Structure 1
Amino acid sequence: MNAIMVMELKKHVQDRGLLFWMLILPIIFTVLFIAMFTANTDDATRQQVILSIVPGYVVMFVFFIMISMVSAFIKDRDKGMTTRVASTPISPYFYLLGKWIPFMCIVIIQVIVLFLFGRLVYDVPLGQPIILLILSIFLTFTVTGVGLALAVIVRTENMGIAITQIVALGGAMLSGLWVPLEMMPDFMQAISRFLPQYWAHQAFQDAMAGNIVFTELMQTLLILFGIGIAGFVIAILRYPFFLKRAVH
């Protein structure tokens, strides 16, 4: 497992495209949308918009790691790497963990960098930094868990990209990452509560303001953890079918 982790980390560090998707594009979008929505507004409104957009875009863009996860698994499958690994004593659990953990490292770095950008450029408050870090870790676990399941389910990379866009952009729209939740119709507000983006965004905002309460935090962490575990279980169950499609 350690060898797989090291190999994957080296490969991802050298991927400049991943750097663009994970850091450069989110920063560009954050700057553009803050400029757009805060033009000709007073200071109070501007601050409110910033405190919504910064964590909202952090939550939205972490989901795009699923594209890289799908691509990595599809390439291993089609180049025969999956078959070769399967012929070794390593169990599917450790193979999946070896592929999964490097992506978790990438996403947690992404979240930290984007929050630091918000702090340095827009002076966003980090009222409860330890809780923000804990939320970031659980969000990372959730996103990459879903990505792991998706990677072994889809048959093609294009299918993975399409589903990722639906999950990332559709979830962002329904969870109030683009438009404040209170401005959305009641039925959309009800739907949002079934999505991890909603819980992560609300918790991030409360922790940034320094007023998140213990019961709300635990509820959010349990929801995020449950979704991540569900993704891993699905990946384990679907792995034999993924292996059957691998090149021998």
Structure 2
Amino acid sequence: MYAVIMLEWKKSIQDRGLLFWTLVLPIIFTVIFISIFSSGLSGSERQQVIVSIVSGYTVMFVFFIMISMVDSFIKDCNIGMVARISSTNLKPHLYLLGKWNNYMYIVIIQIVILTLFGKIVYNIPLGQPVHILILYLFLTIMVTGLGLALAMTVRTLNMGIALTQVIALGGAVLSGLWIPVEMMPSFLQNISKFLPQYWAHQALQDAMEGTIQLGDLFITILVLLGFTILGFVIALLGYPGFLKRAKG
């Protein structure tokens, strides 16, 4: 498994598209939308808008790691890497964990940089830093867990990109990452509660403002952990089909 982790690190460092999706694009979007929606506001109202955008776009853009995950697994499949690994004693779950480990580190780095950007440029509050770190950790394992599931089920990179955009952008709209949930129709508000983005965003906003309660934090962790387990189970169930598609 260690060899898989090191190989993934080398490939990730060489992936320029990964830098664009994880850092460049979210920073550009954050700056643009803060300038638009905070224009004319001051004091607590402006801070509330900034906190919502920084936390919301952080949650939205971590999902784009799925594109790199799908690309990596498909390349392993096409170059014969998966077929060679299957002939060794490395268990499927260890192979998946090795790949998973690398992308968790990438997402953590992405989140830290985006949060530091929000703190340095916009002075966002970090009222409950320990709670924020806990939420970031479970957000990381959740999104990469779903990335594993997607990588095991799609057959082409284009399909992976399309589904990632649906999950990231569609989930952002329905979860209130673009528009406050309170301003959405009641039926959409009900739908949002079934999505992990909603729970992560609401909890992060409260933790940054320093108002999240332990009960709400615990519920959010359970939701994110539930989606993580779901993703890993789907990945394990999809591995045999993924192996059949492997060349070599």
TM-score by length of 1: 0.98
- Does 2:212 align with 1:229? no
Q: Give the C-alpha shift of residue 154 in structure 1.
A: 0.4
CA displacement at 1:41 relative to structure 2: 2.6
Q: Which residue of 1 aligns with 2:37?
A: 37
Gaps of 5+ in 2: none
1:210 aligned partner: 210
- Equivalence map 1:14-93=2 (5 Å): 14-93=14-93
1: CA distance, partners of 2:41 / 2:218: 36
Which region of structure 1 is more displaced relative to structure 2, 33-42 or 124-133? 33-42
- Is 1:116 the counterpart of 2:116 in the alignment? yes
Distance 2:195 2:62 in 1: 14
What residue is the counterpart of 2:180 in the other structure?
180
Tell me which residue corresponds to 1:244.
Answer: 244
RMSD: 0.8
Deviates further, 45-54 or 172-181: 45-54
Deviations 1:14-52 (A, max 9, x none): 222211110111001000000011222333332221011
Q: Which residue of 2 aligns with 1:6?
A: 6
Shift of 1:152: 0.6
Letter paired with 1:91: K
Q: Give 1:211 shift.
A: 1.2
Cα distance in 2 between the residues matched to 1:161 and 1:86: 26
Structure 1 residue runs of 5 or longer lacking an equivalent are: none
Aligned residues: 248
- CA deviations on 1:121-172 (whole Å, 9 max, x unpaired) are 0000001111111100100010000000000100111111110000000000
What is the CA distance between 1:13 and its match in structure 2?
1.8
Question: Following TM superposition, by how much is the alpha carbon of 1:203 offset from its aligned partner in structure 2, in angstroms?
Answer: 0.5
Opposite residue 67 of structure 1, the aligned amino acid is I
Q: Which moved more, 1:12-21 or 1:77-86?
A: 12-21
Which residue number corresponds to residue 160 of structure 2? 160
Query: Residue by residue, what CA displacement relative to the aligned partner does 1:58-102 show, whole Å, maximum 9, x if unpaired?
Result: 000000000000000011111111101111110001000011110
Give the Cα separation in 2 of the matches to 1:102 and 1:68: 11
| CA–CA distance in structure 2, aligned partners of residues 212 and 48 of structure 1 | 15
Q: What amino acid is the match of 2:14?
A: Q
CA deviations on 1:193-220 (whole Å, 9 max, x unpaired) are 0000000000000100111111100100
Task: Map 1:86-101 to 2 at 5 A.
Answer: 86-101=86-101
Q: Displacement, 1:190?
A: 0.4
